[in-house]
Chains A and B, each alone.
Chain A
Amino acid sequence: MDTVRHNTGSLSGLSLAGPGDYYALMKPRVMSLVVFTAMVGLICAPATMNPVLAVASILCIAVGAGAAGALNMWYDRDIDAVMSRTKKRPLPAGKMAPSSVLAFGVIMSAISVLGLSIAANYLAAGLLAFTIFYYFVVYTVWLKRRTPQNIVIGGAAGAFPPMVGWAAAGGGITTESLVLFAIILLWTPPHFWALALYKQSDYGKAGIPMMPNVKGAKSTRLQIFVYAILLAASCAYLATTSLGSPLYIAVASLLNLTFVVLAFKVWRSQAGDNVEGLDEASLYKVKAGEKSARNLFAYSIIYLFALFGIIAASNIMSGFGV
C-alpha cells in the first residue's frame, strides 16, 4: 500500500492545511481587483438595488473569483512548483491534497453562482458562471500553455466582473458595461507583459509561452505600447457614454497620458533583452535595464484602481447633482 496518501507528504494522510491556506487558494490580491471593479459596475449601473442584496452580490462575485483562482491553482500545480513566484502556494508546498483543492473550487463555484442568482438575477449569475468557466477552461486549461496570446484572450476572464456587477444591479448588458469590459481587456496585456519582460526566465522554466519568450522582448515592448494606445482610446470612448463627465475626462486623461508615457519608455528600453538575471520571488526586484518594465507593471495596478475609482466617484457625484 502506498504509505504517502493524498500527495500531502504526510504518512497519516492528514494535511497540515488550515483555513488560511484555503483562503490563499482564492488569490486574495486578484480577488480584491475583481471585487473593486464589480462594485464599480454595480454602483454605475442605471438601476437601484437594495444595499443588502448589493453587498451579498459582491460577496458572491468575490467567492466566484476565488473559486476560479482555486481551480486555476489545482490545474497549474505542476508549473507553480517550478516558478519562484508561485512555488510557495499551498499545493506546490505540499500543504494539501489536489483533490481537496478541486472539491473546494467546484463547491465554491456552485455556491457563488447559486447565491448570485438569488441575490441579483439569472443574467448576473450566468455571467459569473461563464467567467469561472472562461478563466478555468478557456484560459487555464486551453490557452495558457499553448499560445503567447494566452493573456490577451484569457484576459477577458478578468474583464467580466464590472459587467457582472452592472448586470447584478439590473442594468443588463449595455454599451457602458461593454466598454468597462474592453478597458480591462486592453489593460491586461501591457500589465502582464511588463511583468513577463523581467520575469521571463521564470515563465520559461515552467514552459509557459509568454510573449517575450516566444516573439522576443523587442516585439513585446512594441505590443505593450500599441495596447497602451488602444487602452487610452477605449477610455476616451467611455467619455462619450453616460459614464463620461468632466471629472472623469480630466483624471482619465492624466492617468492614460502617464500610462502611454511609461509604455513608450518600455518600448524604447532594453527591458527583457537579457534573460539571465534575478530570479527572486519578489514581483518588483529588477536589473537596472528593466526598471521601465517594473515601473509600468507597478503603475498599471494603481492605474486600474484609480480609473475605476474615478468612474465610480464621478457617477456618485452626478447622482448628488455635483
Chain B
Amino acid sequence: MSNPYTSKIDGYHEPTAAELAARKKRNLAIAVGLFGFVAFIFLLLLFRIGVLG
C-alpha cells in the first residue's frame, strides 16, 4: 500500500541484481515468444490460403 502523503511504499523491497536479471530474461523470452507466435500464425495463414507452398 502506498502512503499518499509521503509517496513512500510500505513493505517495498528492492529487487536483487539476480532477480532483475531473471526478469530481463523472462521479458526477452516473452518478446521473442510473442513475435514468434505472430509470425507463426501469419505464415500458417499464408500457407493455408495458398500464397506460399
Contacts and interface: CB of A to CB of B under 8 A. Distances in A.
A12 B18 CA distance: 12
By size class, the interface of chain B is: 20 to 34
Given A1-B11, A111-B37, A118-B45, A12 B29 contact: no
A12 B52 CA distance: 48
Interface in A87-122: 111, 114-115, 118-119
Interface residues of A, number: 22
Contacts of A56: 40, 44, 47
B51 to A, nearest CB: 12
Contacts of B25: 18-19
A50 B19 contact: no
Contact of A19 (B14, B29, B52): B29
A14 interface: yes
B29 A115 contact: no
Contacts of A214: none
Main secondary structure of the interface of B (DSSP, over half): helix
Given A50-B47, A52-B47, A53-B44, A3 B13 contact: yes
Main secondary structure of the interface of A (DSSP, over half): loop
Given A1-B10, A50-B53, A14 B47 contact: no
B44 A119 contact: yes
A17 B15 CA distance: 14
Contacts of A10: 15, 19
A17 B16 CA distance: 13
Contacts of A11: 13
Given A12-B19, A14-B22, A119-B44, 8 more contacts: A14-B20, A15-B22, A17-B26, A18-B22, A18-B25, A52-B52, A118-B41, A118-B48
Interface of B: 1, 10-11, 13-16, 18-20, 22-23, 25-26, 29, 37, 40-41, 43-45, 47-48, 52-53
List the 9 closest pairs (A to B, CB-CB), nearest first. A11-B13, A14-B19, A12-B15, A19-B29, A1-B11, A12-B13, A118-B44, A16-B22, A14-B15
